Amino acid sequence: MRQLMEIAEEARRVKHAVARLGTKEKNRGLLAIAQALTDHADEIIAANRTDIENGRANGLSDGLIDRLTLNRARIEGIAEGCRQVAALPDPIGEVLWMRKTPGGLNIGQKRVPMGVIGIIYEARPNVTVDAAALCFKAGSACILRGGKEAFHSSLCLTRLMRAALCAEGLPENAINLVEDTTRDSANQMMNLNGYLDVLIPRGGAGLIRSVVMNATVPVIETGTGNCHVYVDASADLDMAQRILVNAKCQRPSVCNAAESLLVHRDSAAQFLPMAAAGLAPSGVAIHGCPRTMAILGDTVLPATDEDYAREYLGYEISCRVVDSLDEAIGHINRFNTGHSECIVTQDYASSQRFLEEVDAAAVYVNASTRFTDGFEFGFGAEIGISTQKLHARGPMGLTALTTTKFIIYGNGQVRE
C-alpha cells in the first residue's frame, strides 16, 4: 500500500508531464479507461458486492446503499461519462482574451491546469472515475481519497484506470487513490501544502464542514442539497405533481433530490392531496406545517425548523403552506443550502422574481431539480456541485478544474 506522502510526491512529479499532454493523448486515455470499465464490469461488480455486504453489516441506510451500488447499467453510465469528457473541447490553452495596451504590450489570459487536485469523498464509487476523468482531461494529476464504505470498488476502479493509461503509454500516476481510509489520511490531505493545488470535498455536511474548517490548502466547497419545489398560485397542478414526484422519488439519495415542498395557499387545498397521492407509492413521510396537517390529516408529522433545514436523502419531505411568493423566497433563502430550487408557475413575473431573488447555484422554472448534474448539463462527468461563490458555482465540469495565467508579449518595453 502506497503511503500518502509517497503518492503526493509522485503526483507532484508527474503533474508537469500531464499538463504537457495534448488533447488527442488525453482523449485516447479516457477512451481506454471507458473500454476497460466496460470490459471488466464483472470484476467491478464483484468488488462492489463486497462493499455492499460490509455496508449492510455496518448498518448503512438504504439511501447510502443506493449511492454505493454499481450494476452494469451504472458502470456503462460511468464509462459513457468518460466518453463524453473525451468528446468535450479541451479547455487547456484557450486564450480567453487578448488586448494591446497604449505602451504596445499585448496582454492576454489563458486557461492552464491546476496541477494536483485532491478529492475527498464518501460512499460514491462513481466519483472515483468521474473525478479522475475530469482532472485528466483538465491536464492535472489527482489524488483521490474515498470513504471506507466504497473502498473495494474504488480500489478496483483505480487499478483499471491506471492500467488503461499505462497500456496507452500515458502516466499512470496521473490517477492516484489513497488506500488509507482512516481520518488521519483525510487530515493529512487537508494540510498537503506544496503538494495539492486545490482540495475538493464531496459528500455529506459533516465531511464538507470538516474540510472547510480544517484545511490549510485551498478548498472548493461542494454542498449538501436541501432543495425546494415551490408550487405557485398559478401553477399547472398536474405538472407540479409530476415535477415533485420526480424531484423527490426518482432517486432520493442524491443531493439534487427535493427535500422540501412549498405550496401557495391558493393552491394548497387542491394540490396537497395530489402531492400526497403522488408521493404515497414510494412511502414518502411528510413533515408539515399546521395548515398542511389540517388539509392532509393525521398522516402528516409536525414540522420543525430542523425538518425544514434537513437534507433527508431518503423517503421524507418537509412541507409548508405559504401566503405569497415573498414568503416562499424568504423561506428558501433561510433554509436552503444554495444548491437547486424550483418554482412551478404559469406567471412570468413570478418566475422572473424567483430566478432573480432565490440564492442558489441552479434555479429552475417548471422543471425538476434532478437535472442539476454535470452529465445533464452537457459537461460529461462532474467533480461535484459547488455551492460557494468563488471560482466555481453549480455543476463543476472541465473549466471549473482549470486556472488561468496572464500572457504578455512585448518588444523590449521597460517600465519608467
pLDDT of residue 392: 78
C-alpha cell at 70: 454499481
Out of 3.40.190.10, 3.40.605.10, 3.30.930.10, 3.40.50.12780, the CATH code matching 4-222+383-409 is 3.40.605.10
pLDDT of residue 208: 83
pLDDT of residue 381: 67
What is the identity of the amino acid at 383?
I
User: Where are the domains positioned within the chain?
Assistant: 4-222+383-409, 227-371
> 329 exposed, middle or buried (CB, 10 Å; 0-12, 13-18, 19+)?
buried
Q: CATH topology for 227-371? A: Aldehyde Dehydrogenase; Chain A, domain 2 (3.40.309)
pLDDT of residue 42: 97
Distance between CA atoms of 31 and 34, rounded to whole angstroms?
Answer: 5
Characterise 93 by phi-psi region: left (phi > 0), alpha (psi -120 to 50), beta (else): left
pTM, full prediction: 0.80
pLDDT of residue 380: 63
Q: What is the CA radius of gyration of the chain?
A: 23
Low-confidence ranges of the chain (pLDDT < 50): none
